[in-house]
Amino acid sequence: MFLGYNLTMDKVVKSINRAIVKIGDGNKQALEKLYELTSGYLLSMAKSYLSDKSLAEDVVSEVYLKVVRSASSFDGKGNGLNWLFKITKNTSLNYNIASSKQLTYDIEKNLDIADVFDLLSDYNLLKETLATAVKELTIDERRLLYLKYWEGLTIREIASLLNKPTMTTQDALKRVLKKLKSKF
């Protein structure tokens, strides 16, 4: 059971996609349906990024406003739930930046100067090791990492883009990550 309905995930995504398309067509009841299907999950996600529940509620409200503004450009063929999650994540991060609640670490308060140099040295070594390890990957392996971690695509989206089965793509990404991990 997902989102209070006894539907498979694909059916839920299709319901969400239909609601978004209808919102783009100006159907006000579709916004209520979308809210009913997704609000709890979007609020949970926003709360995981923000320390304040009321800010999380503001984020969710803003997400639905963004959906109303851009729903007409949604074709209904993508993953509407994933789209909502991305909007929620980005909006939450923007709220953190706007309220200056970025994750920071007060070096002066918690580290002495020797620790700072050790930290920088470790960071530079890690960066060099990672850069070397990535250069040793094939172009296809680098493409997988780029699509997953830079573009933020799901495994299903990557598989579709590369015309490969989802499980094959997932296994390939696991192998790439294992290869990188072996360098550390």
Domains and CATH numbers, the chain: 9-98 (1.10.1740.10), 113-181 (1.10.10.10)
In this structure, of 59-63, 73-77, 103-107, 122-126, the range with the lowest mean pLDDT score is 103-107
Sign of CA dihedral 161, 163, 167, 173: negative
Q: Which helix (H) or strand (E) holds 68?
A: helix 53-70
Closest CA relative to residue 81, chosen from 27, 7, 146, 26: 7
**Ranges 7-16, 78-87, 135-144: which has the least confidence:** 7-16
d(CA 67, CA 20): 7
Give the confidence band of 169 by pLDDT, cuts at 50, 70, 90.
Answer: very high
pTM for the structure as a whole: 0.51
Determine which of 117-126, 127-136, 150-159 has the lowest per-residue pLDDT on average: 117-126
Mean pLDDT for 71-85 is 86
